[in-house]
Copies of this chain bind each other. A is one copy, B any other.
């Protein structure tokens, strides 16, 4: 992966855009030097790199500065289910902050090359309890995570293939919007069709056909790993009804 595809975190945490969205955002606002002090360094991982394996016990946790990753479960025979996508500002394996020392219930892999900031789990656990603002931020983040997987369960169980894809695109748009990473309905969308398939429980081939349907109906446009939502209302309608 050429390096122009990812930016590295700034040296000073105070200047970090992604950091403000991270779980330690409240602390970063008031005393950025504290975060800088805890940071164990920055890493760049190539695309498709296994960061954490299911069953491991994590001792480090990462904040993604740039790039995409995903959490997934994999069966012995190769079947894979992506549980969620991780975007800039997300904490890799936030759950392990709540039950440090327990085995991870899923693996994590980078989809693009990603740059991250590393923290020790114990430091981060302590930080989460250090102030009421942090406690609240932490529980709110966990709550968002639980809500998201609940919705994902509904998607997989009760939505048609097209509905799932529409829903996925809308969910990602929404999350990127909050990060100010959407310009006029257009945003970077580096997931391969295989990844979309593994997230939606479908076949690559079928995903391909469904994307084509959305394209020919002029609802979305895809070029070079970027997606543009051209008819948001129609996409929402599909997500709602199917």
- A contact set with B: CB distance below 8 Å: 73, 75, 77, 79-81, 83, 95, 98-99, 102, 105-106, 139-140, 142-143, 146-147, 149-154, 156-158, 198-201, 241
Contacts and interface: CB of A to CB of B under 8 A. Distances in A.
Report copies per complex.
Answer: 2
A143 to B, nearest CB: 4
B98 A154 contact: no
Secondary structure dominating the interface of A:
helix
B83 A153 contact: yes
Contact of A143 (B105, B147, B199): B105
Contacts of A106: 150
A105 B153 contact: no
Contacts of A75: 154, 158
Contact of A156 (B77, B105, B153): B153
A239 to B, nearest CB: 11
A17 B47 CA distance: 51
Given A83-B150, A157-B81, A140 B73 contact: no
A140 B143 CA distance: 17
Contacts of A201: 156-158
A201 B152 CA distance: 12
B105 A154 contact: no
20 contacts: A73-B150, A73-B151, A73-B153, A73-B154, A75-B158, A81-B153, A81-B154, A81-B157, A81-B158, A98-B139, A98-B142, A99-B140, A99-B142, A105-B143, A105-B146, A149-B150, A152-B153, A156-B156, A157-B199, A157-B200
B153 A149 contact: yes
The 7 residue pairs across chains A and B that have the minimum distance between CB atoms: A157-B201, A156-B156, A99-B139, A105-B147, A81-B154, A81-B157, A79-B158
Contacts of A140: 99, 102
B99 A158 contact: no
A208 B29 CA distance: 56
A147 B149 CA distance: 11
A186 to B, nearest CB: 28
